[in-house]
């Protein structure tokens, strides 16, 4: 086992498989995991609901605000992507994310700017991506699986819009860190993506200390 704390930074577009991969890696290495998208979703959703300024909502965000299941839906996703373009929102969420990543145990964080802005010194950086069509197909199945009433062309159009907003914004746009390992999951299931990421991480000398 390597001595340096293992910080794993995972970035990529919507529905590329970051969240599942992050959870599996966190469990494998016994590390805490932060889904940073949830922070932006909560800010966007609460700002729309209460009419308060998004930056002010971000400054006062509490852990309890992240528990609402409504945050997992696409309405909160779109709201999150809009407030994520506001520099003050990003800077007000920075300290919490940096503190989370500095735990002595190490940590797994997934989002859009983890390897570039939040944890530029992370021991492991993964950029997880997949074609727009495969991502839209996955999101469609996920939404239907949760009982949502939606149609595939709409999911695809909304995902394309979110990709564009995330990549073109001036504040911390979605892009791979130059030292990130690129993982295209278009033709991979969750097991294959986990195996590929694990091989890369173990290749850097990190091993699970568990049984
Ligand atoms: O995985 P999915 O795209 O559905 O959503 P998410 O990761 O929960 O992120 C929701 C929105 O928050 C994204 O569209 C991004 O604009 C934004 N976000 C961000 O800007 N930076 C992060 N570190 C995480 C999310």
**pLDDT of the residue at 34:** 96
CB burial string 66-91: b at 16+ within 10 A, e below: eeeeebeebebbbbbbbbbbbeebbe
For domain 6-202, the CATH superfamily is P-loop containing nucleotide triphosphate hydrolases (3.40.50.300)
The alpha carbon of 41 and the centre of ligand 1 are apart by a number of angstroms equal to 7
pLDDT > 90? residue 211:
no
Provide, rounded to the nearest whole percent, the portion of the chain with pLDDT above 70: 98
Domain layout of the chain by residue ranges: 6-202
pLDDT > 70? residue 2:
no
Q: Read off the pTM.
A: 0.92
Mutate to test the pocket of ligand 1, among 66, 84, 88, 167 (most ligand atoms within 8 A of CB): 84
Which helix (H) or strand (E) is 128 found in, with range?
A: strand 124-129
188: CB partners within 8 A, 6+ apart: 17, 196
Helix pair angle (74-83, 37-50), 10° resolution: 90
29-84 residue pLDDT tens: 999 999 999 999 999 999 999 999 999 999 999 989 999 999 988 899 989 999 99
Taking the C-alpha atoms of residue 100 and residue 15, their distance in angstroms, rounded to an integer, is 23
Taking the C-alpha atoms of residue 169 and residue 36, their distance in angstroms, rounded to an integer, is 18
86-118 residue pLDDT tens: 999 999 999 999 999 999 999 999 999 999 999
Question: Using a 6 Å cutoff on CB, does residue 77 contact ligand 1?
Answer: yes
Q: Closest by alpha carbon to 172, among 45, 59, 84?
A: 84
Question: Using a 6 Å cutoff on CB, does residue 82 contact ligand 1?
Answer: no
Q: If DSSP codes are grouped into helix, strand and coil, which group holds residue 124? A: strand
**pLDDT of the residue at 3:** 62
């Amino acid at each position: 086992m390597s001595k340096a704390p293992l910080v794993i930074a995972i970035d990529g577009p919507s529905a590329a498989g970051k969240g599942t991969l992050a959870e599996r890696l966190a469990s494998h290495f016994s590390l805490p995991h932060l889904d940073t998208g949830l922070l932006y979703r909560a800010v966007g959703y609460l700002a729309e609901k209460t009419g308060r300024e998004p930056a002010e909502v971000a400054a006062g965000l509490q852990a309890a605000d992240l528990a609402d299941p409504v945050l997992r839906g696409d309405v909160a996703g779109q709201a999150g992507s809009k407030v994520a373009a506001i520099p003050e929102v990003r800077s007000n969420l920075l300290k919490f994310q940096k503190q989370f990543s500095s735990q002595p145990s190490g940590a797994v964080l997934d989002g859009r700017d983890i390897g570039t802005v939040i944890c530029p010194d992370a021991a492991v950086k993964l950029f997880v991506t997949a074609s727009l069509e495969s991502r839209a197909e996955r999101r469609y199945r996920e939404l239907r699986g949760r009982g949502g009433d939606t149609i595939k062309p709409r999911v695809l159009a909304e995902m394309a819009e979110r990709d564009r907003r995330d990549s073109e914004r001036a504040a911390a746009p979605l892009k791979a860190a130059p030292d990130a390992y690129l993982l295209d999951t278009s033709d991979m299931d969750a097991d294959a993506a986990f195996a590929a990421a694990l091989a890369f991480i173990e290749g850097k000398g990190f091993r699970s200390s568990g049984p």
